[in-house]
Amino acid sequence: MKILKIELQNINSLKSEIPIIIDFTTEAFQNVGLFAITGQTGAGKTTILDAISIALYREIPRFSVSSTKAGLVDVVSYGADGAFVRLTFQNKGVIYEAFWSIRVNDKKGRKIKNPKEIVSLKNLSTEQILADSITPFRNKIEEIIQLNYNQFLRSVMLAQGEFAAFLSAPNSEKGALLEQITGEDIYKRIGEEVGNRKHAELRNLMIIKSKINSEDLLSEDELKVLKTENKHIKNEVVLIQKEIKRLQEIVSWFKKGDELDQKMSDLNKRDARLKDTIENNKEKTLALANNIHAEVFSDVLKDITRISDSLNANKIQEVELGRQLLLLTEKIKEVELKETKANMDYLQSSIDFKDWQPKFSRIDKLDTELTALKATIIKLKQDRDAEQIAIGKTINNISAKESEEKLAKDELEGITTFIANNSNLPLISGRITQWNLQLSNRAELSSLIEKNNKQCSEQIAKKKENDVNLESCITEYSSIEVETLNLEKELKEYDLSINNNSFTELYNKKAKLDNQLLAVKEFKNYANENNRLQKEKIQQEALIKESNSKLEKQVISLSKQRTILKGESDKLIVFEENYELKKQIINLQDERTKLKSGEACLLCGSLEHPAIEEYSSVNTDESQQKINKLQNEIDVIQKTINQLEISVVVERNNIESNSYKIEEITNSINKLEILFANNEFGFAIENIEVIDNKHSDLEYKIKAVSQKINEIKEITEKRDIVFNKLEKLKTNKNLLENKKLVLTEKQAAFSSVILSFENSVKESDVELEKLETSLQLALFEFDLKLPSVYFFPQFISELESKVTEYNTKKASQQTIQSSISSIGIELKSLKNILEEKSIKLINLKTKISEDSTLWTNTNISRNLLLPSEISVVAKREELQASIDNYYGILEAAKQELQNIKTDITTKQTEIISNVKQKESLNREIQISENDFALKLEKSIFSSKEEVKDALLSAADKSAFEGIHNSIKEEQIKLDAAKNDLKQLNVAHLENKKFEETKEGVNIQLQAKETEENTKLERIGELRSKFEMDLNIRNRNKSITDEINTQQKEVSKWEKLIKVLGGSKHAFNVYVQRLTLQNLINRANLHLMKLNDRYSLKLNKTYVEKEELNFKLIDHYQTDQERYVDTSSGGEKFIISLALALGLSDLASRNVQINSLFIDEGFGTLDSNTLETIISTLETLQSSGKIIGIISHVDSLKDRISTQIQVHKRSNGISIVEIVS
């Protein structure tokens, strides 16, 4: 990296109207390896180097000192509005331009609240802008130069006093300085991290160790006994499960038998329901049979009904057509009058329209004049309103400006007072940043102390709690030991009592008695059922005999009634034929009354009407009475026949039903006799008393055995309770012993942690006290009190707010004064505008009044011709609408007249067609009546009404057929189901291969399942013990393995920290010594050129706090070693320069540095040494370096030919001159 050119303006004392340019590419610096920057003290020599660091990093070395609170704003020359620096440099063959500028005042010379900075980085080789904002600019600079700011200060620009800092630093600060210079602080963090990690792993190891317990495990003997017991119980469970399976199969057999009995019961119920259905639907079955015979007449009856309906409709139409023809004849005269009137109205409306045309022209002219006047008036009113609004706004503006002027004067007075009362705020502003940092550190220390105190208190509380738990654990353990001995004694007593009684023998005896009792109960039920069935069979046989007798009588009576019905039906047919003939004659009587002698008949056209007299005396009343009487007699006979038919069907169903019941009863009795045969007790099915006696005897024996079993069960339950309680106590005893060990280890761990926290709190308290003392002294200078620990942000914020308020008020003082002057000018202007607008408003009001009068006169003239609410267009449209309306009425009347004439012709045609249709229908009905009479003679019916009554509607027919089919289908299904059930019963009885009763099997099964559950529970208890034993062993093994693993982890970190020196800072010191040795080697190379008399040597052995000490070797005094502190001022300068050049080499690393600036005085050197150093520095040109040194030594002016001279003038401004 090589600097080519520096341009700057208004930086500190280097204030100028035009930029100051220092170009290292000019002839003055060609082939020059060393140049000097000379001038008086305070002239501005270091400012040139400041410009370089500002342009590249926006930093100033002198401002980096912690006690300095200046910023970039402070580098701007006094009185200047802004400043800038432009630096041109070359790196790896590419030329770049770095630019920085700042503006602190505006164009009027007023101070800007937030000064504006501009940065820019440009590649001059490609003319590309690489960055134009602060953060990207800084990142890009470091990327190109490959040096951060600190590295730049130690390799390119050695600031004033910086390169000698290492030599003069005390031993305690050399390490930190090495880290700062070489960037090796990472090794310090590594050492600290290794130490922290070692302590963390030690804590983890302690936590894991606290988990170890010593619970008692099962002994080998106990384990062997329990395993034997477990095996024996498992074998017993297998046998029990086999017996359970056998009993479950028997239970399934009984269950299946119950299911078959239930199915038989269900079939009987279905059979009963079917018989009820047949009985309830007897009438529907009979009606369905009659419907089949009557359906032969269905088509003929439909034809007769259809033709009769058509004849009635024809007659009605005939009358209606005559009435309509008469109405049309009367209406045609009315419409002709209407046509004449419409024609006259049409002609009058045309004349009125023509008379209005001249008036329309005059009205249009007046409307145009009125519209123009109205528009003018509206415009004048708008102008008037606008002027009134403007006057109002002007008055408001004047009032607002007067208020604004008063407020500004009041504000100016307040600002002046505030500035006078807070004159010390500018001094406080420079201290705020430092105070904020110190207060923040104070808060962090206080927080750390509170945190450590809290954690220490928590650990103390936990330790106390742990101590209480330990004492409680010891007490409880002793109590459990006593209780365990008492329970073991009680358990032995229960075992002795149980062993004296055989529970299994009693249980088997009770099971046998239970089975016998269940068998006796079952046989008792069978005997009672057999007795009931025998009685029911006798009752059913009596019912069948009674039904056969009734059926025989009903069949004879039914035959007699059917013969009587046939004779009466034949008579009814003859009476009905005579009645229909008379009815037809009477139906034509109404038409005959309309006929007149000499006029043509509308139907046949005949002029003579002989039928009028011939049929005038025909009467149908007597025939109708005979028919009704005979029909009533037939209905009574038919009702009797229907009742007899229903009774016959009912009796037949009763006989069939009772026969089926007898068959079922017989089958049930046979089954019971089979079940009763060869029973183990020798019971006869008829002997119920013997069975009852046996039942009572068995119940007494079972009660005695059960009482004995319950006594043994009670003892066993008490023994189990004691046993479980004893096992639980043993478990608790083991847990307490383990808990006691854990609590003891935790007690030691808590003590160690508490001590660590207490030491940390003491160290932090000392540091906090020092910091608070420093802050109190600094704040006392400005009469400020030290804020509370955690409220310092508000304290700093209040100070910053006050400083900001002071600066703001200072800047706004002049602004407010200018504003007051400006407001006065504006008030004068507004008052002049108000006067002009008032005059204009008066003129507008006068003009509006004149035009309004003219509009009123013109509007009166217009209304005389036509009211103003009616427009010309509306009136014209009204007249035209009248013409159109009357024309429409005329055309409608003409069309209506034509339509009536057409309707008359149509009606006459329809009358002729109606007469012909009537003749055709009379012929058709006669044919259908003859066809019906022939079919009736061959049928079982005696009249048309009987046929109609027998016919069913489609819905009834479908419903009756559905009922009939469902009964038939249900009967078939029922018969099939009964047959299948009989076969299943036979097969089920063949599958019985056991002797146990149903109740006995259920009791045995329940007992075996209870026994199985008891055995399985014991197996579960044993398995739980085995698993607990295994878990304890595995848990201890895993914790041991975990401890071993963690111990290896701790050993690894202990070995590493031992390798690093035995403490967390040892590794950092080790690396610092390596770095220092490398620095000394490089410094000796430069020292050999500067003065070969001396060299530096790092101490091989050292004690604590002297690890970074090194000595000076004097080769002119037989390589005598002595401390550097014994060197003279000149010797120290030479050593410091050599170290500075070495540090530059270290800091630059792999970066090529072609420019080097040293800001240090050379006044301590004699002329010979100075000559040697200058010569040595000049030789660095051969390595491509150009070196600039800053010094006020006059002798350098003669020795170094190329100089940048800074001349100080009386007004505090310096100028720059390049001398070659």
Tell me 1202's DSSP state: S
| pLDDT at residue number 616 | 53
Is the pLDDT at 120 greater than 80? The verdict is: yes
CA distance 155 to 1145: 7
Of the candidates 847, 849, 845, 854, the one whose C-alpha atom is nearest the C-alpha of residue 373 is 854
Please state the rounded mean pLDDT for residues 711-729. Answer: 77
At 87 the pLDDT is 95
1073: amino acid identity, one letter:
R
Residues 957-972: tens digit of each pLDDT = 788 778 888 887 888 8
Give the total residue count for the chain.
1220
Identify the DSSP state of 216.
P
Q: Indicate whether 1001 pLDDT > 50.
A: yes
User: ∠ CA(145), CA(150), CA(151), 5° rounding?
Assistant: 45
Instruction: Give the tokens for residue 34.
Output: 């060393």
- Rounded CA separation 39/1189 (Å): 12
Q: Residue 216: which pLDDT band, with cuts at 50, 70 and 90?
A: very low
Confidence bin at 438 (pLDDT 50/70/90)? confident
* pLDDT at site 122: 94
- The answer to whether residue 164 scores a pLDDT higher than 90 is no
* Burial (CB count within 10 angstroms: exposed 0-12, middle 13-18, buried 19+), residue 208: middle
Query: pLDDT at residue 1147 above 60?
Result: no
DSSP string, 1031-1092: HHHHHHHHHHHHHHHHHHHHHHHHHHHHHTTSSTTHHHHHHHHHHHHHHHHHHHHHHHHH-T
**222 band by pLDDT with thresholds 50, 70 and 90:** low
Which secondary-structure segment (H or E) carries 711?
A: helix 688-780
Q: Is the dihedral of CA 101, 105, 111, 112 positive or negative?
A: negative
Write the pLDDT tens digit of every residue in 785-830.
888 877 778 888 887 888 887 778 777 777 887 787 788 778 788 8
420 φ/ψ sector (left φ>0, alpha ψ -120 to 50, else beta) = alpha
Cα(587)–Cα(566) distance, integer angstroms: 32
Binning pLDDT at 50, 70 and 90, where does residue 1180 land?
low
Q: Reduced to 3 states, what is the DSSP secondary structure of residue 422? A: coil
Quote helix, strand, coil % in the chain, to nearest 5: 75, 10, 15
pTM for the model = 0.35
Question: Which residues are within 8 A (CB) of 952 and not within 5 positions of it... i.e. 6 or more apart?
Answer: 287, 288, 291, 960
For residue 176, pLDDT over 80 is answered with no
> Measuring CA to CA, which residue among 759, 764, 754 is closest to residue 456?
754
How confident is the model over 1010-1067, as pLDDT tens digits? 888 888 888 888 888 777 767 766 766 776 577 678 878 888 887 877 766 655 566 6
Contacts (Cβ under 8 Å, ≥6 apart) of 1002: 251
* pLDDT one-digit tens code per residue, 384-436: 888 888 888 888 888 888 888 788 888 778 888 877 777 777 777 777 777 87
Average pLDDT, the chain: 78
Instruction: Kindly list the distances between the CA atom of residue 236 and the CA atoms of 241, 440, 893, 1001, 1017, in Å, as whole numbers in the listed order.
Output: 9, 80, 120, 20, 13
Interval 1065-1116: pLDDT, tens:
666 677 777 778 888 888 888 888 777 888 988 887 766 667 777 888 888 8
Q: Does residue 833 have a pLDDT over 90?
A: no
Position 1182 confidence tier, pLDDT thresholds 50, 70, 90? low
**pLDDT value for 1159:** 76
**Helix (H) or strand (E) run with residue 1015 in it:** helix 998-1059
Question: For 13-43, how does the pLDDT look when each residue is reduced to its tens digit (9 = 90+)?
Answer: 898 888 999 998 888 888 887 888 888 888 8
Inter-CA distances, 701 with 346, 436, 681, 698, Å: 130, 102, 17, 5
Residue boundaries of the structural domains of the chain: 1-146+1160-1168+1191-1220, 231-280+965-1029, 309-343+872-938, 357-426+817-865, 450-501+690-778
What's the CA gap between 843 and 468, in Å, rounded? 107
Q: 1167 pLDDT exceeds 80? A: no
Above 80 in pLDDT, residue 614?
A: no
Mean pLDDT calculated for residue range 1111-1125 = 83
- Tell me, what's the pLDDT at 121? 94
pLDDT at residue 213, rounded to an integer:
47
**CA 162 to CA 133: how far, in whole Å?**
30
- Between vectors from CA 108 to CA 107 and to CA 110, what angle results, nearest 5°? 100
**pLDDT score of 219 more than 60:** no
The band of 519, judged by pLDDT with boundaries at 50, 70 and 90, is confident
- Residue 605 is predicted with a pLDDT of 57
SS (H, E, C) 167-201: HHCCHHHHHHHHHHHHCCHHHHHHHHHHHHHHHHH
The pair of three-digit structure tokens given for residue 986, joined into one six-digit string: 């036979």
- The hierarchical CATH code for the domain 1-146+1160-1168+1191-1220 is 3.40.50.300
CB 1160 within 8 A of CB 161: yes
pLDDT of amino acid 215: 44
- Cα–chain center distance at 29: 74
pLDDT value, residue 601: 60
DSSP letter assigned to residue 1117: G
Q: Is the model's pLDDT at 248 over the cut of 80?
A: yes
Whole-angstrom distance, CA of residue 908 vs CA of residue 620? 37
DSSP 8-state assignment for residue 995: -
